[in-house]
A and B are shown apart, each in its own frame.
Chain A
Amino acid sequence: MLHLVAAGSLACLVLALLVRRLRPHAFGISERAFIVSVVVFHLLVTVGLLAGTPAG
């Protein structure tokens, strides 16, 4: 699920960078969704490694 959020938000923020009319409406939120999804994913990786189970 997180990978879908990350991929989708990345696509949206790139599109917003390329289409200037979209930037004020879409870039900020999609950038934040991307950052949060990436950090949460890696947080889950460290928690999983801490718990002693390999990350999926």
Chain B
Amino acid sequence: MIPTAVVAAPTTALMLARLGLLAALHVVPSDYSPVRHAVSDYAVGRTRRLAATMTWIGAAAWAGLAGTVAVALPGWEHRASATLWLIVLAAVFVALPHLPTDLEGERRTLVGTLHLLAAVA
């Protein structure tokens, strides 16, 4: 039996890191406005590495939460489905940096459409 803290502690750290990176995206110089532009736009241009890092940290956080739920809630009737959906969410986050969004005003591309579908998912 894996102690809950073994999975919950790093998951907590990853979620805090993700929040910190989201904040950092809005502090570093960029061409984007938090009012006029989507978070996905940061994945295009000079903030793309920081945005990709944030997204992959997010993927690890969702995977960690899946593990935490699986370990910490053995009696929960929705444990299996919740764990599965969190793993799916983590997989979507792994894929997102490879599917950059179409910026406003640009021609819609297949990759941009796939990004929109992944974001909605």
Contacts and interface: CB of A to CB of B under 8 A. Distances in A.
Q: Which 10 pairs of residues, A with B, have the shortest CB-CB distance?
A: A50-B8, A43-B15, A49-B72, A46-B12, A46-B11, A28-B35, A49-B8, A24-B36, A46-B8, A28-B34
A36 B19 contact: yes
A7 interface: no
The majority secondary structure among interface residues of chain A is: helix
Contacts of A3: none
Given A28-B38, A32-B39, A50-B8, 10 more contacts: A25-B36, A28-B36, A29-B34, A39-B18, A39-B22, A46-B15, A46-B64, A47-B12, A49-B68, A52-B4
Contacts of B38: 27-28, 31
Interface of B: 4-5, 8-9, 11-12, 15-16, 18-19, 22, 33-39, 61, 64-65, 68-69, 72-73, 104
29 contacts: A23-B104, A24-B35, A25-B35, A28-B33, A28-B35, A28-B36, A28-B38, A32-B22, A32-B34, A35-B22, A35-B39, A40-B19, A42-B61, A43-B12, A43-B15, A45-B65, A46-B15, A46-B64, A46-B65, A47-B8, A47-B12, A49-B4, A49-B8, A49-B72, A49-B73, A50-B4, A50-B12, A52-B4, A54-B73
